[in-house]
Structures are given as C-alpha cells and as structure tokens.
A and B are shown apart, each in its own frame.
Chain A
Amino acid sequence: GESVGLHLPTLSVQEGDNSIINCAYSNSASDYFIWYKQESGKGPQFIIDIRSNMDKRQGQRVTVLLNKTVKHLSLQIAATQPGDSAVYFCAERDTNAGKSTFGDGTTLTVKP
C-alpha cells in the first residue's frame, strides 16, 4: 500500500535560520501534495500545496519542492521564527481515489 514518510521525526533550528523538512512518498498515482502545520490542541493547518506537474512552488517564507523521480517532497521555511514551532506533516492526495495519506510528522523546534 501507499505510505508517506518523513526522514526525521524532530528538527531543531535557531531563530532566523532556514529550515528544511523532508518527506518521501510511495504512491505514483498521487497528483497533489500538501504540507500542513499542527500546533498542540489544534487540527492541521494548510501551509502550501503543489500539483504533481510542478517541481517548485513558493509562498510567503515557504517553498515546496517536488522530485517525482525519487518521490521526494520538501518544505523550506525561510528565517524560521518561534511561532513556526509545531509538527509538520506532508500529505499526498490521490484525487481519483478520493483520499489523502499523511506521514507521521516532523516536530520543528525553534530556539530563540
């Protein structure tokens, strides 16, 4: 079956540094990829998405890179801030199957 995994369960960075969170996926049929941020006691919050026909997309302080050759997804956060501390999930979506598959998350800790 398909699975989505993150390379590291935890990541600690200094405030102001750039953060890179990685994710590997296995479902070749996935046509849409999303990064979510989840803070304690809350549901996941949409950060940025990318379609499978793209390899890069930028948002405000965030960039998502998609490498379909090796089935790898990454989230880059520029100038990381204490408010960025949270658990980050990547998710792949198979629109035809009508479902999303989440990885287990990377806990990002930003040190002041």
Chain B
Amino acid sequence: ETGVTQSPTHLIKTRGQQVTLRCSSQSGHNTVSWYQQALGQGPQFIFQYYREEENGRGNFPPRFSGLQFPNYSSELNVNALELDDSALYLCASSRMTENYGYTFGSGTRLTVV
C-alpha cells in the first residue's frame, strides 16, 4: 500500500503571496487532515476533510483553505502569506469509520521571506 505523499518538499514564498500545497492520501483512506508544525512544537490542527467537505477546523484564519478531491487527494491553500506562516505543513489521512491514528506524510517545508 502507498503511504501519504506531499509536494513540494520545500518551498520559498514572499510575504503577501499565495501558496498551494498538495497531498495524496494513503490508499483506502477517505479522510484527510492538515497540520502546521512550527519548529520545536507539536503539529497544530488546521482542518479536516471528509467526502470533499470540511468537517472540522482548528484556530486558523479563513485565508487557510482546502480542497479534497474525489480520489481523496487534497490541497491546502494559504493566501496573503505572513512571515509566521513559515512552518512544516503536514498532511495526514485516515479512515473516518475506524478510529485509527493518522498516517502522516513527510510534510512541505514552507519558508516565507
């Protein structure tokens, strides 16, 4: 079975720009979540998607948005980038009907300059 893959692995953007990060879920997983992990901290929940709809959200502003596609791949979009958005962005997939832990990708390292 394939794991969770994220692209790109690294990215540098300028403050005020927009960015799109991509994720392919593990085969058989229908739920995808996105997390922001600052250096030295635990992952912070951004939002979760199930059946192409957002069904849970953390304390992130509306400029953080997402999409889930019928093949369960997903995108995280961030508008009007700020310096504090620099972090590792993690995608995780799971099966909604079963209480398994998430399977995480290796993340996208975003640097905003």
A interface residues with partner B (beta carbon < 8 Å)? 1, 4, 32, 34, 36, 41-46, 49, 51, 89, 91, 93, 95, 97-105
In this complex, the interface size class of chain B, counting residues with CB under 8 Å from chain A, is 20 to 34
Q: Are B101 and A46 in contact (CB under 8 A)?
A: yes
Partner of A102, one of B4, B44, B59, B107: B44
Complex interface: chain A residues within 8 A of B102 (CB)? 34, 44, 46, 100
Complex interface: chain B residues within 8 A of A102 (CB)? 35, 42-45
Closest 6 CB pairs of A and B: A98-B56, A43-B104, A102-B42, A46-B101, A34-B101, A99-B56
Complex interface: chain A residues within 8 A of B59 (CB)? 1
Complex interface: chain A residues within 8 A of B45 (CB)? 99-102
- In the complex, what distance in Å separates the CA atom of A60 from the CA atom of B78? 40
* Given A95-B99, A100-B33, A104-B41, A45:B106 Cβ within 8 A: no
> Chain B residue with minimal CB distance to A94?
B56
* Chain A CB within 8 A of B92 CB: yes
Q: Are A43 and B105 in contact (CB under 8 A)?
A: yes
> Chain A residue with minimal CB distance to B48?
A98
